[in-house]
Each structure stands twice: as C-alpha cells, then as structure tokens.
Amino acid sequence: MPKMVILIKKKPGMSREDFINHYETSHAVLGKRLLGHLWTKYVRNYPVSLMAYQPEENSVDDTYDAVTEIWFEDQAAVDEMARIINLPENNSVILADEEKFQDRLKTRLLMVEEVDNGTTLD
C-alpha cells in the first residue's frame, strides 16, 4: 500500500495556531474535496517538541510544523492524484492556498515504504 509523507514548514512569521487553523479549515478541506476519494487514510501531525540526540546541533526552528501522512490503496490512486493535482484549474487553487501558510521551498514530499509487522521492539 503506497504511503506519502509530507513535511511542511509554516510561513515565516506565522503563528503555530494560525498555521494549524489554516491547514485544518482550508487546505485539508480543499485536499479532501479534490482528492479524498483516492485516500484510505489522511493524518496531519503537529509536532509539539524536538527530541534530538545532539540538541546543540539542532534548533526548533529547523523542524517541520506538520508531518502529513496519506495512505493510498494502490499506485493507480497515486497516479490519479498526480493527474488531478496537475490539472491547471486545480493546480492554481492548490498552489495559491499553499502560499498562504507554507514555506513551500522547505516542504518535502516523500513516497515511503511503510513497515508494520504488528510487534513491539523488545
């Protein structure tokens, strides 16, 4: 089952509360309207702290403000999402909304291979 992970940084100067509010009330709603039929699960995670092995080398400013996970039934759904996003009428709306709350140059979109064998590490 394909999975996408999106790492998002908020626009400089934007509060965490405004970022989350825009994501939840505008961008997530837009995404669900255009693409929700292709997803099996859509989760937005908002980090609350930074845990690092070498904290002196990491800054909270270097972290992401949202980690989004999207699961798809199959690769055909991923391909259909790309097609829908790239339609000019959809692309312009999506990009305009992203510009309102994201630092788009720092956004990272990853297709990942999820491994979950249902066990805990001992």
Query: With bands split at pLDDT 50, 70 and 90, how would you rate the model's confidence at 49?
Result: confident
Phi-psi region of 118 (alpha: psi -120 to 50; beta: other; left: phi over 0): left
DSSP-derived 3-state class of residue 86: coil
Contact yes or no for 101/23 (Cβ under 8 A): yes
Contact yes or no for 47/67 (Cβ under 8 A): yes
Q: What is this structure's pTM?
A: 0.85
Q: Out of 3.40.50.2300, 3.30.70.100, 3.40.50.300, 3.40.50.1470, which CATH number does the structure's domain 3-49+62-112 have?
A: 3.30.70.100
What six digits make up the tokens of 42?
């859509």
- Examine the pLDDT at 61 and tell me if it is beyond 70: no
| Greater model confidence, 88 or 114 | 88
Residue 25 and residue 4: Cα distance in Å, rounded?
Answer: 21
Q: Where are the domains of the chain?
A: 3-49+62-112
User: Residue 32 CB: number of other CB atoms within 10 A?
Assistant: 12
